[in-house]
Chain A
Amino acid sequence: AQSVTQLGSHVSVSEGALVLLRCNYSSSVPPYLFWYVQYPNQGLQLLLKYTTGATLVKGINGFEAEFKKSETSFHLTKPSAHMSDAAEYFCAVSRGGTSYGKLTFGQGTILTVHP
């Protein structure tokens, strides 16, 4: 079985500050890891994914995440927050292969950005 824990249901930062959203996963097989963003009244948009290879993954909108197997973590970072980053962020894991799209999501982290 797979699971995802997102530490902190709400994170608040000032504009221009570092964004750090924490995600830890549990998986019995090498995981495929994802970060999605959800804006109000919209669907989920893929920010970035880790499948294999380089452990530092760069995504859209200046976000990046690092896969750390020893820590079972996949934290999302952005050096400088922008007001438009305010949204809910979901970390997800899958087994890959034919189960690639069968995602197990974390509970989400709402990011608030203050001017």
Chain B
Amino acid sequence: DSGVTQTPKHLITATGQRVTLRCSPRSGDLSVYWYQQSLDQGLQFLIQYYNGEERAKGNILERFSAQQFPDLHSELNLSSLELGDSALYFCASSAPAGGYNSPLHFGNGTRLTVT
């Protein structure tokens, strides 16, 4: 058990809809990362938050957004969903305060299916 909790585990929705994925990092971790794993693109970095602030952006679509709340949990919002957004979305956490080189701990992912 990595200590990173993602909910829900599975999500099935229709094209054009909006969903919210939730991540609770390991206790004490300040950084949260979101990754997308799809058959076409493999594992891709989407976005990172550190202690509530956006730290880095990757290949995240404009239809997607994220935030990290004061209690350090994070949400990834996906809107105007398309069939191609079907994927496994991972959250990872790291960095107890001050530790840039702390390893990432991954949750078990949320599997999103868009029909």
Contacts and interface: CB of A to CB of B under 8 A. Distances in A.
Interface of A: 32, 36, 41-46, 49, 51, 90, 92, 96-108
Contacts of A44: 90, 92, 104, 106
B56 A98 contact: yes
Interface stretch (B13-21, B41-49, B64-72, B74-82): B41-49
Ranked nearest first, the 3 interchain pairs of A and B with the lowest CB-CB distance are A43-B106, A105-B43, A44-B106
Contacts of A98: 55-56, 100
DSSP class of B's interface residues: helix, strand, loop or mixed? strand
Nearest to B50: A98
A101 B90 contact: no
Interface of B: 2, 4, 31, 33, 35, 42-45, 48, 55-56, 58, 90, 92, 94-95, 100-109
B109 A100 contact: no
A46 B105 CA distance: 8
B56 A103 contact: no
Nearest to B58: A102
Given A100-B100, A101-B31, A103-B104, A43 B90 contact: yes
A43 B103 contact: no
Contacts of B95: 101
B74 to A, nearest CB: 13
5 contacts: A43-B4, A98-B55, A100-B94, A102-B48, A107-B42
Contacts of B58: 102
A95 B104 CA distance: 14
Contacts of A45: 2, 106
Given A42-B108, A96-B100, 17 more contacts: A43-B2, A43-B108, A44-B90, A46-B105, A98-B55, A100-B101, A101-B92, A101-B104, A102-B45, A102-B56, A102-B58, A103-B43, A103-B104, A104-B45, A105-B44, A106-B42, A107-B42
A46 B103 contact: yes
A106 B43 CA distance: 8
